[in-house]
Amino acid sequence: MNITELGKILKEMYDKAPHGHQVANIHLFGVKYASVIQRNHLKPSDIVAASGLNPSYASEVSKGMKLSEYVVPKN
């Protein structure tokens, strides 16, 4: 996966989140895609820029990536 594809997924997860759960979905994105992001040496800030979301959300993606060491998404 590249930055453009990840940006599209992030934007979709944000847009489809129930009202009030957008930031939680950004964290979930970080959890789900942490290994892809790390393996490809990508920066959360570049992914957020590709998504068109507020640049401040890069820190939320990073938080999700850190959480990925401790949590597993429910299906």
Question: Tens of pLDDT along 30-69?
Answer: 999 999 999 999 999 999 999 999 999 999 999 999 999 9
Our CA angle for 8, 10, 13, nearest 5°, is 110
Do 63 and 30 meet the contact criterion of CB atoms below 8 Å apart? yes
SS3 54: coil
The yes-or-no verdict on residue 75 having pLDDT over 90 is: no
- Residue 60: the pLDDT is 98
Q: Is residue 67 within 8 Å of 33, Cβ to Cβ?
A: no
Task: Give the span between the Cα atoms of 45 and 28, in whole angstroms.
Answer: 16
What residue ranges in 1-75 does DSSP mark as E strands? none
